[in-house]
Amino acid sequence: MSDEPHADPRRRYSSPVVDGPGKSASRAMLRAVGFEDDDFCKPQVGIASTASQVTPCNSHIDELAEQARAGANEAGGKGVVFNTITISDGIANGTEGMKYSLVSREVIADSIETVAGCEGFDGLVAIGGCDKNMPGCMIGLARLDRPSVFVYGGTILPGDNHTDIVSVFEAMGAHSRGDIDLIALKQIEETAIPGPGACGGMYTANTMASAIEAMGMSLPGSSAQAAVSPAKKKDSKKAGAAVLNLLKHDIKPRDIMTKKAFENAITVVIALGGSTNAVLHLLAMASAANVKLSIDDFTRIGKKVPVIADLKPSGKYLMSELVAIGGIQPMMKILLKAGLLHGDCMTVTGKTLAQNLRSVKPYPKGQKIIQSLKKPIKKDSHLVVLYGNLAPEGAVAKITGKEGLSFTGTARPFDSEEKAMKAILAGKIKKGDVIVIRYEGPKGGPGMREMLGPTGAIMGAGLGNDVALITDGRFSGGTHGFVVGHITPEAYNGGPLAIVQDGDKITIDAESRELKLGISKAELKRRTAAWKKPKPNYITGVLAKYAHLTTSASQGAVTDANLDLG
């Protein structure tokens, strides 16, 4: 029984909660959930689980949480599982519910911070499996700054005929054009998602998992494992044990999440051809870790890092196929050897990145997923930060080069995703159009919805090479085509996007890194003066709170950076 304050330095947070006669009531409560005498003398490891039947990405994570708890217990700690929320982008996309998606990232971070801060956990394992719960977990861990390991829930297996969730969205567009019938659409719907795991291409979930591994906050190999596999269970168990090693050596998230580590994450995201959401989430994670990171860092790094992974949505292969040849570790070793990664960064193994990669074997000969640095898919980054009179504070484009490097077309503005989607499905969008979807930013939506529905419908309608789409919202990692998101200032804050009119000329130029509205400065000034701010869509509840607190997309759209502490 823990009658006297414990001297174990690993128990910095749990000791004040359970030690001494004055904490008998606390111990009594914990006995009721399974604690025994010896457990009160052990470091407590909180296991943050995002398990839920809400989405296949997270439907298996309860099993992984139990593995992490077992790993912590076997290593001499006391694992305690607690839950946080998740939502499903794939289900909510195209609906009003999608406005809660980015908001959920902040709720998850808040909840992990709240539980760990209250309960006195000495270390943490956080397990995430979908787009927003991964950066949400990481923001929470960075805020708490207690020894921690992140575990990725793992990727889904392919559906029939090499399909995935994006295949379904594009089939919807093909059906609206009359290219496939309802029976064919239903067949894709029934077989594209075969079981647990995150969406199977290099979409946001796999992108963020790879970024977190490159950053050193998950165990080597964690980002490239199937959700339902012995490897993923082993990864989870090892993560629980790893926290005890981090406690022993007093290695905390902010010791790992340095500026160099974020640069490593950006490098890997670019090499993989990852999601534009990585920009938003890495900015938010950096803010939580008190690291100065800006959208211009993506440009700086992107000038020297090529895209070398031929992965969906722009490429051919799925994450499960990358898993089969060794995941991202061999690629990271290639990047390290070329001087594109910082090998001296600390990781959750207690070793540096270079030390972790030392024994990694190369990819098998003849594999076609990861290309040579000498013959890349694109010689520089596909994530292009644009400025111009339409984006004075920046915007993020995803341009692989397959779409071309510039696009000039006729503006077709819509004040919501729904209005744009209706026009696309009705066949009202023509070759040469630039679809403008506005009032979908962090404050204006609120919540910065993804535009997977419209971009999927564009692809399905056969207009992927002939139409561009720009927005103050954002894009799913499954999006491909000539698209620009994260436009700041957003329309709701009076950004230039708000004054675009039907028929205006818009130019997107990836080489000059410019997003330009083809009107004079005088006309821009006249329209801006005549613009009136719309009423907010929500005045109560979590969406209203988010809109009130959030920063702009160029700052990560976070809710704890605008607080008036005066």
Q: Which residues are catalytic?
A: 476
Burial class (CB in 10 A: 0-12, 13-18, 19+), 408: middle
User: Are the C-beta atoms of residues 175 and 182 closer than 8 Å to each other?
Assistant: yes
**In terms of Cα–Cα distance, which of 247, 258, 246, 260 is closest to 348?**
246
- 3 state SS of 370: strand
Q: How many residues does the chain have?
A: 566
User: What does the DSSP 8-state code read for residue 492?
Assistant: G
In the chain the first and final C-alpha atoms are separated, in Å, by: 45
Mark 22-36 as b/e (b = at least 16 C-beta within 10 Å).
ebeebbeebeeeebe
Using CA atoms, how far residue 313 sits from 240, 273, 451, 478, in Å, is 33, 9, 14, 5
Using CA atoms, how far residue 158 sits from 53, 386, 406, in Å, is 20, 34, 33
Amino acid (one-letter) located at 446: P
User: Are the C-beta atoms of residues 135 and 208 closer than 8 Å to each other?
Assistant: yes
User: Are the C-beta atoms of residues 417 and 355 closer than 8 Å to each other?
Assistant: no
Virtual torsion, Cα 281, 418, 501, 506, nearest 10 deg: 50
Helix ranges restricted to H, 32-181: 61-74, 89-92, 100-119, 133-144, 165-177
Using CA atoms, how far residue 460 sits from 94, 137, 171, 337, 448, in Å, is 16, 34, 6, 41, 23
Q: Tell the residue number behind the tokens 């209203």, with chain if given.
A: 544
Token pair in block for residue 559? 């809710």
- Taking only Cα atoms into account, the Rg of the chain, rounded to an integer number of angstroms, comes to 24
Question: Strands 433-437 and 468-471, how do they pair?
Answer: parallel
